[in-house]
Structure 1
């Protein structure tokens, strides 16, 4: 049977046998042609664009709500560069009426982001469209239809029957299912396969359509649109994932840091051996210990121990100096008190001979004295430097504590001022309330007095009227008699 021309290529009207199951081809996800929760980054979906009337939630996109005559869409901003691909759409269609209120459409077309009458998108499209029609006027059941168009056929016009232009259809209920429904569209080896899973949570796909001989070019755009009629349904999109089928093998691996520099130097780049790793881990452990110790109360103990070590070193230095002085005096040198008083004994010839004989020993002792003195000087300089560093560190900490205390004082002062203002305000309000209550009480007492006076006056008037009436009656009786 000859192939019949269609929008984006050709199709074979004879379906393939779907009974044998072949292993799934290797695939690689393209995150730039996919989206799922969390959808938004800086208020938008990266690499995708949604129409203005789409309701954006944290875990789904409501393209068309359950309001009659509403529609919406979401389209990829980047074209598809892969000749073989697999797209998986996770959606949900829910409604309270018996029959559906229109449905969704999956698009792979040359043009994108245009409103229209076909499930919220344009008519006369160029490419592939899969209609998830939940309001089929003939069967009144959810129907999936696959259509190709070359941009010339107006499917939404009244004189065109879309069923005569579709590749095929199936009736798998995806409306008001317990969980979300899955639509998988695979294009491989010029074969288009459409599968739906409405109850298996993406683990039990049922074949809806499989056609061979179809040519879908690259650089087309993916999109999803929806529309609601009367009665209306909610049309939600939960995720969209695109995978490249049979991706090429990697020809280049990522290089390590400084690997290019090593290669230029003609050296072989080697990883860190186990001993170096152990040294690095030990250094990191010591650094962590020092940081934890510096943050706690151990700093004071460490400072005290350092000062004690410095004082002990100075004490041992003084002992060494005293010992050297005693050795010099033992050789016949005058004591410091004699030098201060100027009592230096003269040398005789015998002593000069002894000095000449012991010149070698004296030179050795002098060298030892110089060595000890230089060590003492170096140790003193080190101690002075350590003391200065410790004093600077203490000054810095004291300054930080002082700054913190001053900041706390300012905060307390501001709180005190606020409390004073609040107390004054409360006192003012209490005085106003007291004044108002007093005025109200005075007014009530005045009204009570007036009421009592009025009652008394009415009583007097009543008594007077009674006596007047009684006298009048008695006079009339006397006249009658």
Structure 2
């Protein structure tokens, strides 16, 4: 009887193993090599098959360094095959690190846009792009009237008419975002960008737990097919190493789209807030709101001293006027 039970148990375990193996095989079946970048990167000579690099990008055996820890440089790497997959998921294994302890920047961006290899001021890429940008902003000198800390992950969909406002960290044109402490980790950090059924979902694996944690989800995002994937980075007065270890692209099977035509219009996001004008007068109140600890204590003390001085001066002026008023009656 015991032998019979053991035999059945072995068959059951074998069945579970086969099911798991089949699922793993199916997942790997949807990995699209033409949009994937893994080690070893180099082909013949200095070329990277299916990818082009520009700017200060450096290809090594272990990573692709978009920028080194030096000021005012840019770099990017671009897939040279347009993507015609309608439902997809992109996994990027990256590393951002540098010598700065409290001040560092600027960050990097992951793109799905219609024109590639155009360098500019938006994390190394040109502004007024057409498509999707996922920004991993590390610039720690917080700009603009917002309440979040850095590093910060956000998304922007642009039809070519919007400008990314660096002074406000793109707050006025972002779809959504979340704080993410991914800098200077001694283990692998990952981001997943999932686009299916017009829904954009961004997740992170930055806690060394080997599991995805949702950053944000945005519905009703319209992205056309035929655009290009790329990753760019930039440094300014502050700097960091921005390294890409791998990019893996997965096609997601969705039966609901088989009988419908792919979207071919301009990128759009129905749930995006209307762009707001930047008000420079708010900068002072924003900076004051960010003071903490001893800095805030000093500001309060200075304000109290100022009020006391004003009170004393006012009292002296009042006494002088009273004395002058009395003299007029003698």
Give the TM-score band, short-chain normalised.
0.5 to 0.7
Q: Which residue of 2 aligns with 1:141?
A: 150
More strand by share: 2
User: Of the candidates 98, 103, 109, which is equivalent to residue 105 of structure 1?
Assistant: 109
Q: Which residue of 2 aligns with 1:162?
A: 170
- Match in the other structure for 1:130: 134
- Tell me if structure 2 keeps the 8 A contact 1:63–1:72: yes
**Shift in Å at residue 157 of structure 1?**
6.9
How far apart are the structure 1 equivalents of 2:105 and 2:132? 23
Equivalent of 1:34, from 33, 36, 54? 36
Paired position in structure 2 for 1:117: 121
* Deviation string, structure 1 residues 320-376 (Cα, Å, up to 9, x no partner): xxxxxxxxxxxxxxxxxxxxxxxxxxxxxxxxxxxxxxxxxxxxxxxxxxxxxxxxx
- 1:123 and 1:132 map into 2 onto residues whose CA distance is 16
Q: Secondary structure at the match of 1:164?
A: helix
CA deviations on 1:261-287 (whole Å, 9 max, x unpaired) are xxxxxxxxxxxxxxxxxxxxxxxxxxx
Shift in CA distance, 167/246, structure 1 to aligned 2, threshold 3 Å: same
Cα deviation, residue 161, structure 1:
6.6
Q: CA deviation at 1:52?
A: 4.3
C-alpha contact 1:130 1:146 (8 A) present in aligned 2:
yes
1:228 aligns with 2:235: yes
Q: Which of structures 1 and 2 has the bigger CA Rg?
A: 1
Q: 1:56 to 1:172 in 2, by over 3 A?
A: same
Aligned to 2:250: 243
Q: Deviations over 1:251-306 (max 9, x none)?
A: xxxxxxxxxxxxxxxxxxxxxxxxxxxxxxxxxxxxxxxxxxxxxxxxxxxxxxxx
Cα distance per residue 1:46-88 (max 9 Å; x no partner) = 1110014211101100001100001100001010010000000
Report the equivalent of 1:205: 212
Asked if the contact 2:89/2:193 (under 8 Å) is kept, the reply is yes
Measured after TM superposition, the shift of residue 101 of structure 1 is: 1.4
Partner of 1:53: 56
Counterparts of 2:70 and 2:149, CA distance in 1: 20
Separation (CA, whole Å) in 2 of partners of 1:140 and 1:157: 15
Distance 1:156 1:72 in 2: 20
Unaligned runs of 5+ in 1: 1-22, 249-481
Q: Give the Cα separation in 2 of the matches to 1:52 and 1:213.
A: 35
* Partners of 2:149 and 2:179 within 8 A in 1: no
Indicate if the aligned counterparts of 2:188 and 2:208 stay in contact, CA closer than 8 A.
no
Structure 2: distance between partners of 1:247 and 1:149: 26
The one of 196, 201, 206 aligned to 2:204: 196
Q: Distance in 2 between matches of 1:161 and 1:44?
A: 34
1:151 corresponding residue in structure 2? 160
Instruction: Decide whether the 8 Å contact of 2:193 with 2:200 is kept in 1.
Output: yes
More helix by share: 1
- Partners in 2 of 1:96 and 1:117 — Cα distance? 23
Report the CA distance between 1:231 and its aligned residue: 2.5
Count of residues paired in the alignment: 224
* Matched position secondary structure for 1:32: helix
Between the two structures, name the one with larger relative contact order (CA 8 Å, sep ≥ 6). 2
CA–CA distance in structure 1, aligned partners of residues 192 and 104 of structure 2:
22
RMSD: 2.2
Alpha-carbon distance in 2 for matches of 1:161, 1:173: 17
Counterpart for residue 295 of structure 1: none
Distance 1:149 1:28 in 2: 28
Separation in 2, partners of 1:96, 1:47: 33
SS of the aligned residue for 1:218 comes to: coil
Gaps of 5+ in 2: 1-22, 256-330
2: CA distance, partners of 1:113 / 1:39 = 19
Aligned 8 A contact 2:55 2:74 in 1 = no
Structure 1 residues 161 and 184, CA gap change in structure 2 (3 angstroms): closer
- After TM superposition, give the deviation of residue 247 of structure 1 in Å: 7.2
Which of 158, 176, 179 lines up with 2:184 in the alignment?
176
TM-score, normalised by the number of residues in structure 2: 0.64
Taking structure 1 as the reference length, the TM-score comes to: 0.44
